[in-house]
Structure 1
Amino acid sequence: MAQFDDTAKRRIRFQTRRGLLELDIVLKRFMAEEFEQLSDEELALFVDILALEDQEFLAIVNQYEPSPRADFEPLLQRIRNAKA
């Protein structure tokens, strides 16, 4: 299991800057509300989620498309809840 130090967390924060305004807004709220509470396991999943293309990521967050991985769903739900 990866250990996420401050440098790794800064890289993740940078990766949340996306090309779609809607995704930026959702992620900004999630980062403010939830990011610091994420475990290393959740951070690893978040990195995998951030690897998705913007359009796919937004469609999954908005539940227009199903998640490509079942283990993403709890974290995606936290992202969705932060956007409300």
Structure 2
Amino acid sequence: MPVFDEAAKRRIRYQTRRGLLELDIVLGRFMDKEFQNLSDEELAVFVDILELPDQEFLALVNQKEETTDARFLPLLEKIRGA
């Protein structure tokens, strides 16, 4: 399990800048409300989610598609709720 120091968290923050305005808005709210409270385990899953293409990520957030990765579900709920 990786441990995320402040430098790693800054890199993750940078990765949340996406090409879709809708995704930027949702992630901006999530980052403001929830990011600092995430555990290292949740951060590792978040990094995996951020590797998804923008369209797929947005579809998961908007519940237009379902993920096959059960690890994503709790974090997607947090993103949606922010």
Using the size of structure 1 for normalisation, the TM-score is 0.96
CA RMSD of aligned residues (A): 0.4
Shift of 1:67: 1.3
Structure 2 partner of 1:14: 14
Runs of 4 or more off by more than 2 Å in structure 1? none
Structure 1 partner of 2:68: 68
Shift of 1:9: 0.2
Structure 1: stretches of 5+ with no match in the other structure: none
Taking the TM superposition and a 5 Å limit, the aligned residue runs for 1:5-84 are 5-82=5-82
Q: Secondary structure at the match of 2:26?
A: helix
Structure 2: stretches of 5+ with no match in the other structure: none
Using the size of structure 2 for normalisation, the TM-score is 0.99
Percent of aligned pairs sharing the same letter: 71
CA distance in 2, matches of 1:22, 1:54: 10
Output the amino acid matched with 2:7. Answer: T
May I ask how many residue pairs the two structures share in their alignment?
Answer: 82
